[in-house]
Chain A
Amino acid sequence: MHTSAKPALAEYQKAMLDLLKERASAPFSDPHLAEVVHSPGLGLLREVAVWWRGFAVESACPWTAGLLKKLGRFDSNVEEFYRGQNVSPYVEKAGEEFLFRMSASPEPLVAAMARLELALMRMRQGSSDAYLIQWDRNPDDVFKSLKSTQDLPPAEADALYRTYVSRDIPGLVRCECDTMS
């Protein structure tokens, strides 16, 4: 029997959540929590948790995942996603949450891809809404790049591409381009 004062179960579990999500660090007054902070197992648990979230993201939103991988930001974005919010354990829902987060990305290309994939996900879920996504480069060329080893196309300063997603459109998606001359 161990008789030293211990944190109540709820308090202890909250501390473990904060440790996993890197919201808390040493020093802890509780010796066990202080030991956990420095344990290699904590790093492993974090890594495995992020790995599973990455797997969910790849499965539920492959285009956005592919783009982020091409940009070399997939792992860091998934890690921020895991740490920053309550991620659903359901793959499709986790993917939707990730797309929602990435659709607010300051990087226009990433935001556009996430918005397009989110709109298509909503279509699959039965949404009757219409969506407009603006691109700073030709989305067709972006998809060609993602399906190959080609580099991503550069942003076009004199063109604006609009992708419409709606059940009223044959094939769900239509793209238009405005050239600013």
Chain B
Amino acid sequence: MEERHLAGQTSGPALATTYEGNDPRLLERICPLVDYLEISPDSISQVTTQGCALNPAIMAELNSVARGTTFLIHGVGLSIASASGWSQDYIRLLDDLFSRLPVAWHSEHLAYTMVEGEQLGTMLPPPRTQEALDMLCERISFLQARYKAPFLLEKVVRFLPEYPGDYSEAEFLNTLARNTGCGLLLDVYNLECDQKNFAFDIDRFLRDLDLRHVVEMHLAGGVEYAGFQVDVHSQLTQESTLAIAANVLARAPHVRAVTFEYLKEAVPRLGHDAICGELQRLRHTLLSAEVGHAHIS
């Protein structure tokens, strides 16, 4: 399916943002500012007597207000790293979405959200063991065979002590990408959370990570709570996050989009004006051709 970009972006990374539905006035305002809209199947679906299904009201919004937009699908509930089985509901939602919307690629967190069918209520990264790697490679291959669109994995924030696995974070991601051909989604704010919470060495991680696999970057802002920097996307992007993003953009040759992420629950506090202003700021400061050349030189 041919991609159609709203903002006429022709070269370099595109700009995207999240939309979770039920706010058509916001949708009207953000569509002209971005090249892609990122939607989460989990947020735009509901449970019916027949099981999980896309919410018809939100689908109608997307088909009317966002007509002509190309979408990025970003999941939460696939639970790709659950040893006891991933979410078949999510796969059905993906089937439906791919048949109804133009999708450039889809992504999921490198995490598990359920165990033996029970929801954790949060997402946890899998231990970086050979067993986990083999399982993930098999599942990624399944997704790639089922859908034509590329698939990306996102490293998540961790809040627990590190499991003594077989691979470093970068090695694990590099091996997944190399073995399967999947892409990587790099959430820059997540890196900062890990840095603040566990003295994660961002520079070393970025040196070790094969940045050729990075296809999308997420930008967001969050808050400190109970001594942790948490990945609640409730704020605008901080300058420190933008600096890391610019560094990655200068070194990652295949980044196709930078996505500003925010939670639906944060919209009333942030306001539509601030969200639109942030999108304009990101395009101007991070994605304009002049900025890109400056970083590379």
Contact = CB atoms under 8 A, between A and B. Distances in A.
Contact of B52 (A47, A90, A125): A90
Contact of A16 (B52, B77, B117, B124): B124
Nearest to B132: A9
A42 interface: yes
A82 B121 CA distance: 8
B115 interface: yes
B150 interface: no
Contacts of A87: 119, 121
Interface string B140-175: 000000000000000000111101111000000000
Interface residues of B, number: 45
B274 interface: no
Contacts of B265: 55
B77 A49 contact: no
Interface of chain A: mostly helix, strand, loop or mixed: helix
Highest count of chain B CB atoms <10 Å: which of A6, A9, A14, A44:
A9
Given A45-B122, A53-B121, A90 B226 contact: no
A47 B132 CA distance: 27
Interface string A17-56: 1001000000000001001100111111101111011010
A169 interface: no
Interface stretch (B40-48, B99-107, B206-214, B251-259): B40-48
B113 interface: yes
B131 A8 contact: yes
Contacts of A125: 48-49
B129 A9 contact: yes
A47 B46 contact: no
Contact of B164 (A2, A10, A14, A52): A2
B77 A89 contact: yes
Nearest to A17: B115
Contacts of B158: 41
A149 interface: no
Contacts of B117: 86
Residue of B84, B119, B127, B228 ringed by the most chain A CB atoms within 10 A: B119
B278 to A, nearest CB: 23
Contact of A44 (B48, B49, B225): B225
Given A47-B226, A90-B52, A17 B118 contact: yes
Contacts of A13: 82-84, 112, 115, 124, 126
A20 B122 contact: yes
Interface in A48-105: 48-50, 52-53, 55, 82, 86-90, 92-93
A4 interface: yes
Given A9-B135, A53-B121, A44 B230 contact: yes
Given A8-B131, A86-B117, A92-B47, A39 B166 contact: no
A35 B117 CA distance: 26
B227 interface: yes
B120 interface: yes
Given A8-B131, A13-B82, A41-B161, A88 B118 contact: no
B121 A52 contact: yes
Contacts of B52: 90
B129 A88 contact: no
Interface of B: 42, 45-49, 52, 76-77, 82-84, 112-113, 115-122, 124, 126-127, 129, 131-132, 135, 158-161, 163-166, 197, 225-228, 230, 232, 265
Please provide the 3 A-B residue pairs with the shortest distance between their CB atoms, ordered closest to farther. Answer: A49-B121, A41-B159, A10-B83
23 contacts: A2-B164, A4-B164, A8-B131, A10-B84, A13-B82, A13-B83, A14-B116, A32-B164, A39-B160, A40-B227, A41-B158, A41-B159, A44-B230, A45-B124, A45-B160, A82-B121, A89-B42, A89-B77, A89-B113, A89-B119, A90-B46, A90-B52, A125-B48
